[in-house]
Amino acid sequence: MKKTICLTAFSLLMIAGKVEAQNSKVGLPIYKNPKAPIEERVKDLLSKMTIEEKAGQLNQISGRFLTGPSTEDSSEKKKVQDLKKGKIGSFLNIIGAKKTEEMQKVAVEQTRLGIPLLFAFDVIHGFKTIFPIPLAEACSWDLKQAEKNASIAAREAAAAGLHWTFAPMCDITNDPRWGRIMEGVGEDPYYGSLISAARVRGFQGNLNDTAHILACIKHYAVYGAVEEGREYNLVDISRVMLWNKYLPPYKAAVDAGAATLMNSFNVFEGVPTSGSKYLVTDVLKNKWGFKGFLVSDWGAFGEMINHGYAADKKDATQKALNAGSMMDMESRIVINFLPELVKEGRVSMATVDAAVWPILYYKFKLGLFENPYKFSNEEREKKELFTDANIAEARKAGDASIVLLKNDNVVLPIRKNSKVALIGYYANKNADVLDRWPGQGDTAKVVNLYNGLTNKLGSSLVGFTDGYKDDGTTSDSLLQQALETANNADVILVNIGISGKLAGECQSLANPIIPDGQVQLIKALQKTGKPIVALVSAGRPLILTQINDLVSSILYCWHLGTETGNCIADVVVGDYNPSAKTVVSFPYSVGQIPVYYNHFNTGRPNTNHGDGGFTSRFRDIPNEPLYPFGFGLSYTTFKYDSLRISNQNITKKDKLHVKVNVSNTGKMDGEEVVQLYIWDKTASIIRPVKELKGFKKILLKAGETKEVEFTLTDKELSFYDADGNTRLEAGAFKVFVGANSRDVLEKDFTLQ
């Protein structure tokens, strides 16, 4: 037996050797040899490419629909002509096994070198099965579920011919006026880092199958700090804020192995990020060691002209490439000006090769040279999309994303035999449930709130009426109908908020508030004397102050995707005990924006101890948000006590062990997100009064108590200076543990 195995191994070696010999004998170029190391194949292919073909690899064109301002001739015919000339290296917005295969055939069979295309699409929170918007998903504090959601989205997208998603969006923001707050990670850098990494892992896996796709860290960098929350507006922040607040999630995504990264639209220190050598080369490549490739956001290279940074398209091309940027999404300038710039010596061939290298690398890594059509498989497309299992996961994710902000007199959960009045225009409209990044989600297959409640309670127990119009106004007749519906019910569920069409890019709102008509509706419903439950649908934290005291309960439902109605119904009747906690502060008023938990003490903190005049405060509203970061209630109650630390004084080499007891003091099993914060009270660069440095989501049965332990090391106690170097400084610290960033127990300790 052993002899036979040896022979087999020997004969295999002989065959491999023969193939090698044959390859070289028939002159098969190295880049076509699947056995050659990828690095060798890239090098060989680059050596065969003309500058025009290299520019082609740096040119990305949109396919069948636009997700940005339309540019010059975008006819299919022109695209195919350019593709045949090797002038396009990847497409976005070409979707489907059939369509991608068609285009791939042109690239592989009708171009000189047959370099396969990459197909990309905005798979932001699901492809066909749509999950909660990323901001809502983040409120679950369930990193495993976030990773799983991304892996399902990747599996579906990969079955539809796609190789690459433009996600995760890692932008920190404190501004609910900005429509893209829905897409990100919330306001905290520590948690934003963890969830960004989880999403990268979910999308990419090991990139060694047809169930995962390239992730794309975006929008690098600091897009979420646009002034006024106005889309595409100026960003102007310090390097200290850059390093400590905004960069960590991008870095975490790089460390998680993300293959690609997207330049943002904004400037940093007066330079558009596409042209920022500091961000793209000094930080991303040299300091962080990023080895993947960059793609600009839509038209961002060309927009350096509008910014006033580039004189013309040729200048913009030179500035983008020399800063270290690479692929040009839809500016169509690199393809037209790069060859000339290289011939004139204004961009070196080494710079071009460094830009093309990672793009070719990932085309080899995905196996597209061996089988360019491996992702374009109609059978798999039919099998993988919108499966019951995927839909069930979307429901699980949605349940865990709904934040219970208020529940006076425990109106919720309602009994399953309650007669409910569901009032709210959006509640039975599918068109408003998904947001502006709906992937290939089918609006017709969305479970809206009315569907969800009737699925759960039966239609005989659910009365419905609009109560207000799409524009948020109401009328006497609508109010009259609402009162009639309410009078026939035990509980009033009023669905308020704003449409999903206002969640996403270019949806800035100067007044992210509850529309007046909806406030009038609630005031009218108060006359019934029945408890009112507000179910808020929005892709951002709206200002709730006007309705907060008018209703008994508030469930913040965000936009939850395909299973929206079923998720909300699960929580309303208590089939799911809400466990989510908000990852963004809810401002008390528009004038308070930006308000966030990790704020600074100032020289005159508002201590409210009677010194009255000269402290940092408003005259007309409190300093604190209506609901703080980390806040979320449960149908049960939790008690925190006996916070203890392992040492009052630690050295820089020590670990600090922090323990707290958490008890479920209610009658229902429930999950609690226990949060740990620190305050570095004295430092060479001032530090926020709280910084999240740990959390644990635990399940406690009714009456159960658990000891929860955290460990603090030098990593959690350090901060960055303006050069991105970490500093760990001796001095006084506070550690806080609690249910959110406001309700905490605290202890002091000293770092020596």
- Which positions are catalytic? 297
Minimum distance, C-beta of residue 29 to ligand GLC, in the bound complex (Å): 34
CB of 434 to ligand GLC, least distance (A): 16
The nearer residue to ligand GLC, 62 or 129, going by C-beta atoms, is 62
Query: Is the CB of 67 or the CB of 281 nearer to ligand GLC?
Result: 67
Q: Which is nearer to ligand GLC, 53 or 122 (CB)?
A: 122
SS3 of 287-310: the string is HCCCCCEEEECCCCCCCHHHHCCC
Amino acid code (one letter) for 203: F
CB 539 within 8 A of CB 558: yes
Cis peptide bond upstream of 168, omega within 30: yes
Of the pair 143, 262, the CB lying nearest ligand GLC is at 262
Distances (CA, A) of 594 to 306, 487, 563, 598, 667: 27, 41, 32, 11, 38
Could you say whether residue 243 binds ligand GLC (CB under 6 A)?
A: no
CB 82, CB 74: distance < 8 Å = no
| Sequence-ordered list of residues with C-beta below 8 angstroms from that of 450, at least 6 positions apart, any chain | 422, 427, 428, 462, 464, 565
Residues 648, 636: contact at Cβ < 8 Å?
Answer: no
Pairing of strands 691-700, 164-165: unpaired
599-602 contact pairs (CB < 8 A, 24+): 599/688, 599/689, 600/686, 600/687, 600/688, 600/689, 601/686, 601/689
**Does the protein bind ligand GLC through residue 94 (CB under 6 A)?**
no
Examine residue 328 and tell whether it contacts ligand GLC (CB under 6 A).
no
Is residue 429 part of the contact set for ligand GLC (CB under 6 A)?
A: no
Label the pairing between strands 462-465 and 420-423.
parallel
Given a contact cutoff of 8 angstroms between Cβ atoms, the answer to whether 718 and 730 are in contact is: no
Instruction: State yes or no: residue 153 binds ligand GLC (CB under 6 A).
Output: no
How many residues touch ligand GLC (CB under 6 A)?
9
Q: Is 233 in the site for ligand GLC (CB under 6 A)?
A: no
Buried/exposed 309-341: b ≥16 CB within 10 Å, e otherwise:
bbeebbbbbbbbbbbbbbbbbbbbbbbbbbbeb
Q: For residues 41-80, which are near ligand GLC according to CB under 6 A? A: 67-68
Identified binder of ligand GLC from the candidate list 381, 435, 505, 716, rule CB under 6 A: 505
Buried b (16+ CB within 10 A) or exposed e, 259-270: bbbbbbbbbbee
Asked if 166 touches ligand GLC (CB under 6 A), the answer is yes
String marking each residue 433-452 x if it binds ligand GLC according to CB under 6 A: --------------------
Closest CA to 641 of 671, 670, 662: 662
Q: Least CB distance from residue 238 to ligand GLC, whole Å?
A: 25
**How far apart are alpha carbons 462 and 459 in whole angstroms?**
5
The dihedral sign for the CA sequence 307, 309, 313, 316: negative
Residue 88 CB, nearest approach to ligand GLC (Å) = 16
Cα–Cα dist 711/252, whole Å? 20
CB nearer to ligand GLC: give 437 or 679. 437
Q: Which of 53, 297, 399, 570 binds ligand GLC (CB under 6 A)?
A: 297
Q: Is 645 in contact with 709 (CB distance < 8 Å)?
A: no
Structure tokens at 432: 């408003």
Q: Give 267 or 514: the residue with its C-beta nearer to ligand GLC.
A: 267
470 C-beta neighbours (distance < 10 Å), count: 13
Give the dihedral sign, CA 246/247/248/253.
Answer: positive
Strand-by-strand arrangement of the 260-263 sheet: 216-220, 260-263, 293-296
Distances (CA, A) of 199 to 147, 195, 202, 293, 384: 5, 6, 5, 18, 20
Kindly tell me which residue out of 298, 386, 635, 679 binds ligand GLC, with binding defined by CB under 6 A. 298
Tell the smallest beta-carbon distance from residue 329 to ligand GLC (Å): 7
Distance, in Å, from the CA atom of 117 to the CA atom of 107, rounded to the nearest integer, reads 7
122 binds ligand GLC (CB under 6 A): yes
- Rg of the chain (C-alpha set): 28
Binding ligand GLC (rule: CB under 6 A), the pick from 54, 87, 125, 218 is: 218
395 binds ligand GLC, rule: CB under 6 A: no
H/E element, 565:
helix 564-572
Shortest distance, CB of residue 60 to ligand GLC, whole angstroms?
Answer: 9
CA distances from 276 to 380, 493, 652, 673 (A): 42, 50, 36, 39
- Stated as kind and residue range, the H or E segment containing 136 is helix 134-138
The only residue of 88, 92, 136, 542 in contact with ligand GLC, by rule CB under 6 A: 92
Contact residues for ligand GLC, defined by CB under 6 A: 67-68, 92, 122, 166, 218, 297-298, 505
